[in-house]
Chains A and B, each alone.
Chain A
Amino acid sequence: MPETVMDSLTLSHFLMTGAVLFCLGLIGFITRRNLIIMFLCTEMMFQGVAVSLVAFSRFHLNDTGQTFVIFVLTIAAAEAALALGLVVLLFRRKRTLDALVWSQLSG
């Protein structure tokens, strides 16, 4: 088993991947107006964080981080079900997925 590739990967690479995932999600959340896309972007941010957690867990040789990620994924799944339900409800009200139509709270 060639080990060189894995050996040459350091913690920084994994953290960078997580950070890139997180930032992509963040930028998507801020720039897009489609509710579903925005929701997917939040999921992407989750995954970025999860990658960082797993990377730290491996780096410190401590399983707690990975266990935590399993929980996060489970909760994210439950939350996804809820959030999609909400999106469907919002869509039914206004017949559009545009987030800008929900701006009654403007001061």
Chain B
Amino acid sequence: MPIELIKLIPWIPLLGAALCGICCMKPAWRKAAGPISVLSIFIPFLITCGVYSAASGLQGDDKIQTIYQWMGVGNFTVNMGYYVDSLTMVMLFVITGIGSLIATYAMGYMKGERGYARFFMGVSLFIFAMTTLVMADNLVLIYLGWEGVGLCSYLLIGYYYDKPEAVAAAKKAFIVNRIGDLGFALGIFLTYKAYGSVSLHTVVDKAIEFLNDPNYTATTADLWIPFLLMLGAFGKSAQIPLYVWLPDAMAGPTPVSALVHAATMVTAGVYMIARLIPVFQLSPYALPTVAAVGGVTALFAGTIALCQYDLKKVFAYSTVSQLGYMFLGVGALSTFGGIFHLFTHAFFKALLFLTAGSVMHALAGQLDLRAMSGLRHKMPVTCWLMFAGCLALAGFPFTAGFFSKDTILAETLIVGMEGNGLFTLLALIGLLTAFLTAFYTFRLWFRVFMGPEHFEMGDDHGHGGDDSHDDHGHAHEPHEMPWWPMNAPLAVLAFGAIFGGLIFSGWMSGSIETSTANPIAIHAVDTHAQTDPGYSIIQVASDTSGHGSEADAAHGDEHHTLMGMDVHTAMMLISGFIALLGIGCAAYFHWLNRPLTDEIAKKFGVVVEVLYNKYYVDEFYDAVIVKPLRMLGHGFFLFDQFVINGLVITVGYLPRLVGWSVQPTQSGKMQGYGLGMVLGVAVAALLVFKWAF
């Protein structure tokens, strides 16, 4: 396939969104929206596959595929152009591939909903924005996609606009993202000021040049740009302190949670940092900050997930936690680990959300873990599909999540062993989080599917249209989902979740090496450095004078070992053991001996209470930020109402007063005007005579 076809990728979903919008108009057309949307995502997937070989062969300026000049002022030009390298291709595979699977599932899940066509319009529009984001060849276009996905996220979270909590969650997501996006926008401005361009390749090339230049000293802008960009990434990817919107965003339909809030949009921050990794390397504090925030978020969200009873909330906090891992990986300069985890996470988290959606669907909207148990006989397929997802999330040996998580932890530990204590601590935090992850994942699975059969149906009778569901026997008995269109895409996801790590690991590391996300791009000649990514830029930054061949050679001799083994192998053993331990604990506490668990929970009631209430962070933000802001806003409103508005109204009243006083003279009667004219002339004549004589 010719490479030019890649320019079509974002526009096909946009066309699909427009067609779905047309479908909204007539009830008879609405059914067409689902297939249209699926096709508008699947065709770009086929294009992605088709142009893959051509795209990976691109060199130099060929990687920039420009459609037209978007805007230009003086020297400043922004093109509607795409930067096609292997990282772009990886992201496109994730977005279009997982996207079409989820959209297919949604055709069944959303059947009979009132806003069926509206939903698919949002999904297609989201794919347009997301593909634009990952393909953009300049920061301004990335920002367009960035805001586009934010908008679609807002629209899709607020899909059930008659539910107040969904509307509140949509607003919260939008407003919290504003904070991050402000940082991102400022970062772009500063980038333009510092680099004189917003083009990705120019910025990245310049940053690499600076990194390679031993005499270069980082300017203030170099120190600030990463922190501003980071703020945007933290907002979009739900990291401390801006993570609070993501758990609430689960008020949207489950396929949205899977697509937007697990697989694709929330990973945009990881993508952005990975894409601009040389820019981040210029600031010695940026990447450790990213790693620390990621690690702390991973642990923090993991502990909250332990005590949540809402199925989707558990997975939401788990997503926050896994995103923390990705940032930890990127922060430890292992963009391979970060993006790899992004890739595998997209599979298993989408799978988990969708199977959770199936359970929710079967139980008429029931999401409370306490109201369900032992569903394995009612929903055998869903049970084992979710099992596959849980294994991958828990990092069970040789599943997809195992490899990617292990890569991140090992790389972090290697940086730590090179003398950076912070990273050693973060690696330990990561290991602890891995245990928690395995535990809370299987706590959920054992609770839902194992043990004595018991369930309470939710109050969502028939998803808005009982007539379309009468064959399902809704609201009486849980039922398995049909294979098409719901379980079949899940089977594909499950396959990816189990085998994705083994299959794609090599391909992924190759892809990262040949993209701008490669942190060792400055040593691209040396293949050895790539096979041993322990070579960290923190080290590079410290010996800028001597890097080059001798630094690499020195590095080549240096093999980090842990317990007498290569760090990666050792980490695989440790994290595999930890995953098994977590699963075992979960099995004991939440399957075999539930009364004991309840007793323990009672004993540590305070801890459970704090975790259940998410460390009261929402309440804290409410008291410290939201309430004072509200008060301030109220004060401003009163000032505006009385002082400013009062002034304006007073000024406006003056002409009105004058008009009101002379208004009676305008009688509209001709004689009156005539008399006025005569009197006027008479007065004028009198005055003239007085002066004349």
* A107 contacts B668, C-beta separation under 8 Å: yes
* B666 contacts A107, C-beta separation under 8 Å: yes
Partner of A106, one of B667, B671, B678: B667
| Across-interface contacts of B678 in A (CB, < 8 A) | 26, 30
C-alpha spacing A8/B554, complex, angstroms: 138
Partner of A100, one of B665, B669, B674: B669
Instruction: Tell yes or no: B664 within 8 A of A by CB.
Output: yes
Output the least CB separation between B669 and chain A (Å). 5
* A105 contacts B675, C-beta separation under 8 Å: no
Given A26-B678, A30-B678, A107 and B671 contact (CB-CB distance below 8 Å): no
C-alpha spacing A30/B678, complex, angstroms: 9
* B671 contacts A103, C-beta separation under 8 Å: no
Instruction: Tell yes or no: A50 within 8 A of B by CB.
Output: no
Residue in A closest to B666 when the chains form the complex, CB atoms? A107
Instruction: Tell yes or no: A33 within 8 A of B by CB.
Output: yes
What interface size band does chain A fall in?
10 to 19
Instruction: Tell yes or no: A99 within 8 A of B by CB.
Output: yes
Instruction: Tell yes or no: A59 within 8 A of B by CB.
Output: no
| Across-interface contacts of B670 in A (CB, < 8 A) | 38, 99, 102-103
* B668 contacts A99, C-beta separation under 8 Å: no
Residue in A closest to B678 when the chains form the complex, CB atoms? A26
| Across-interface contacts of A106 in B (CB, < 8 A) | 666-669
C-alpha spacing A30/B671, complex, angstroms: 5
C-alpha spacing A26/B675, complex, angstroms: 9
* B674 contacts A105, C-beta separation under 8 Å: no
Instruction: Tell yes or no: A10 within 8 A of B by CB.
Output: no
Q: How many A-B residue pairs have CB under 8 A?
A: 33
Instruction: Tell yes or no: A56 within 8 A of B by CB.
Output: no
* A99 contacts B669, C-beta separation under 8 Å: yes
Partner of A30, one of B664, B666, B675: B675
Instruction: Tell yes or no: A4 within 8 A of B by CB.
Output: no
C-alpha spacing A90/B663, complex, angstroms: 26
| Across-interface contacts of A38 in B (CB, < 8 A) | 670
| Across-interface contacts of A103 in B (CB, < 8 A) | 667-670
Output the least CB separation between A47 and chain B (Å). 18
C-alpha spacing A101/B666, complex, angstroms: 15
| Across-interface contacts of B675 in A (CB, < 8 A) | 30
Within 8 A of A (CB), among B665-693: 665-671, 674-675, 678
| Across-interface contacts of A100 in B (CB, < 8 A) | 669
- Which of A33, A100, A103, A107 has the most CB atoms of chain B within a 10 A radius of its CB? A107
* A33 contacts B671, C-beta separation under 8 Å: yes
C-alpha spacing A20/B249, complex, angstroms: 92
Residue in B closest to A42 when the chains form the complex, CB atoms? B674
| Across-interface contacts of B667 in A (CB, < 8 A) | 103, 106-107
Residue-wise interface mask of A (54-88) relative to B, using a CB-CB cutoff of 8 A (1 in contact, 0 not): 00000000000000000000000000000000000
Seed contacts A103-B667, A105-B668; 8 additional CB < 8 Å A-B pairs: A31-B671, A99-B670, A102-B670, A103-B669, A104-B668, A106-B666, A107-B667, A107-B668
**Can you list 28 residue pairs at the A/B interface with Cβ under 8 Å?**
A26-B678, A29-B671, A29-B674, A30-B674, A30-B675, A30-B678, A31-B671, A33-B671, A99-B669, A99-B670, A99-B671, A100-B669, A102-B668, A102-B670, A103-B667, A103-B668, A103-B669, A105-B666, A105-B668, A106-B666, A106-B667, A106-B668, A106-B669, A107-B663, A107-B664, A107-B665, A107-B666, A107-B667
Interface residue ranges, A against B (CB under 8 Å) = 26, 29-31, 33, 38, 99-100, 102-107
